[in-house]
Each structure stands twice: as structure tokens, then as C-alpha cells.
Amino acid sequence: MYDLILKNGKVVFPDGVKVVDVCVKDGKIEKIMPSVKDLTKDVIDCSGFYVLPGIIDAHVHMRTPGLTMKEDFGTGSRACAAGGVTTFIDMPNTRPPTLNNDDLDEKRGFASDDSIVNFGFYIGANGKNFNDIKRVKNIAGVKIYFGAHYKDISIEDAEALEELFKWGKMPIIIHAESEKGSYEAVKQVLHIAKKYDARVHIAHVSTGSEIEEIEKFKSEKVTCETAPHYLFLNKNAFQDLGNFAKVNPSLQAHEDQEALFGAIDDGVIDMIATDHAPHLKEEKEKSFEEAPVGVPGVETSLPLMLDMVNKGRIDIVKLVKLMCENPARIFGIKNKGKIVEGFDADLVIVDMDEKRVIRNENLFTKCGWSPFNEWELQGVPKITIVNGVKVFENGKIIAGDFRGGEVKFLQ
């Protein structure tokens, strides 16, 4: 007896799409077969719909602790569920920043209480907490910031940076602050990573020049991501959005957008991650100098990419590789990212034909806005399943008392 059966869906596998049934038991994918008798009371007819692995967003800022007026694990995870995201990895630039085991345990407690999807964490590096980094368990990697925005959680000392790469026990994720800073930081860390044969992941790649530099060093240990706002918006967006288009690194030229799509086609960009960074509307309405950088993204990333599938810009197998398989592989997330017997039953059912308009008033994120407000997109997440439990269906959160869990990192 199965707990749940997804029948007749167009299931997306690494090698293509097949119409099969997916049978779920005890939170796992128990069986995948062409047709199964309805040995359960809970059957979802997926005829005509696609079934994807749950999206893994490896770059989010859920603002807990210290900034929960903008977002928290409850509201952020509900936004994830609405966008087909079943796992997120949270960044360390909270207040206080996440720099040691105690900080991580506090976050784990908050997320365990409130998140309806699965979660994981990064630890930050400030040049002084190397011993703390060596002691932490079950994290995705070490996040390094460059630049004045992150004074309490950045590394400016070259010796400390080299020490971290020499240790090299887990992925090192790089954030650079400006266009010039991004390029110079990417060059610096790629050379250091090569010197120590370390794993390095470049966050929110936004320019063609970064792509060119990454291509020189590209390997299994050198990976990178871009974000939807760099693919779908350019610097002309400021005319309509003003500060609501202010991100870090900033939006680039149309030519850079084309370079990013080309890098996706060529396999240089490994994943799409949102850099979900919500701020209140009143913060964004301040002067340009005072307005914070960042946009929300977990709720809109999959619909945006599905629309690109419908327009023929990317195929759905490549989408799953970018948003599910590669994040799980790069960060070593156990039993996630593919629809495979024995893996966790994290699934999203999507209608590729339905069109929907993004509207601020319908969003689950606490900040209540999106730079893609009033965009009409074709391709809609209909049902999101986390660990075998339906948490979102037809526009509504239905998780009840269910909570997601912390993922396991195989490092």
C-alpha cells in the first residue's frame, strides 16, 4: 500500500521525459513504473502535467534571525512551496551573522519550527573564525563576502583566504560586491582554488567578462550560478522599477543577458539560484543611496524558467538539471534533485499550458512585492510535495502542521 501515487504524469528524468506513475511511501519514492493499480486512497491524476523533482534553491536570505520584518522561515518557506521550491539553502548574513555552531543551531531551531519545506545552511567566514568553521557539521559550504556592505562577515586578508582554500574540506562560495569587484574577485579566487585544487562556487554571475574568466578554469570543482533577475531584467529596468531593481551586483546590459543564456547553453553556468533577498516596500522607496539591494525570487523563479521552456529558449530536461540535479550534486545533498527510487519524495507538478499573471497581492513572501509584478507567464506550479506531503495545491498552502527537515550534506 502506497501513501500517494502520481499517475500518468510526464516525469522529467536526466535522460528525458517519460509517462509513468510515481509511487510514494514513508516520504520516499518507492516505485516508478508505467502503470500501477491504485493501491492507495490518495491518487493525483497528472495526465497532461509534467512532474519535476522539487526545485532546490541554493541561494536564499530568509532574514532569520534579526531581520524578520522582511521575511522569516515561515513566510519564506510558504513562498518557496508556491514556487515549487522544496529545499532552500540559507545564507549567513543575518543579524548576528552565522559564524559558528551556536549560530547554526539557533537557525536550525527557527527553521525546524516554521519551515514547510526542507532547508540547509552556509556558514560565513570573517578571517577570524577558521577554527569554528572546521568544527561545524552538516553545512553546504563556506560563504565568503568581499566588499564594504558586509564588513562583519567578509575576508579582506589574503593569508586568511589562502588558509581557507588550503583546508578545502567543503565548497567555498564567493560573493563580490560590484561589477569591477566581481571580476577581480573571481580572478583572485579562481587562481587560489586552482593552486590548492579546492572547490569554489561563484554566486550570482551577471556579466560576460565573468563568464570568460570562469571558462578558463571550468572543471567539476569550479562551478557557478546566475539568478533569474540577471536573465530576465537588464539595467533598463530602472526606468520602470527604480529602486525595486536595485540588486547586488547590479543589473547589466542586454549583451550580458545574452552571454548568460549562452553560458547556460554551453554548460558553463551550472545552476539557477534566486538570491532571494526580500526588503520591505518602504525600504525600497527611500532614496537610491539609502535603499537596500536585493529582490525576492523563490516564488517566481520556476514560473519564469517554465515560460522560457514554452518559448523554446531552454528545454525542460536542462531546466531540471540547472534547478534540481546540479544543486544537489554540487553541494552533496543526499537523496535530492532527481526522481529516483529511494530518493526523497520532493516533487512539483506543473501545468505547462496554463498562463498566470504575477501579482504582488497574491504573493506569499512577507515583503509583498516582486520585480516581475504584472508579468504574464506560461507554465504554473500546481502542486508541491515535500517529503511525500502535499504542502501547496492550486494556489493555496495546505501544509497544516507539517514541517520540512534539515537536509543531509554528503561531504
Cα–Cα dist 43/21, whole Å: 10
**H or E element that contains 382:** strand 376-386
Annotated active-site residue 275? The verdict is yes
Please spell the DSSP secondary structure of 266-323, one letter per residue. HT---EE---B----HHHHTS-TTTSPP----TTTHHHHHHHHHHTTSS-HHHHHIII
**Measured between alpha carbons, how far is 149 from 145 in angstroms, rounded to an integer?**
9
Exposure of 342 by Cβ count < 10 A (0-12 exposed, 13-18 middle, 19+ buried)?
Answer: exposed
Candidate list 90, 114, 275, 344, residue with the active-site label: 275
Whole-angstrom distance, CA of residue 298 vs CA of residue 277:
9
Q: Name beta bridge partners: 385.
A: 347, 390
> Which three three-digit cell numbers place residue 12?
522529467
Please state, in angstroms and rounded to a whole number, the distance separating the CA atoms of residues 304 and 77: 19
- Please tell me whether residue 220 adopts helix, strand or coil conformation: coil
All three cell numbers of 230: 540577471
Q: Is the CB of residue 43 less than 8 Å from the CB of residue 7?
A: yes
Contact 203, 144 (CB under 8 A): no
Supply the residues annotated as catalytic: 275
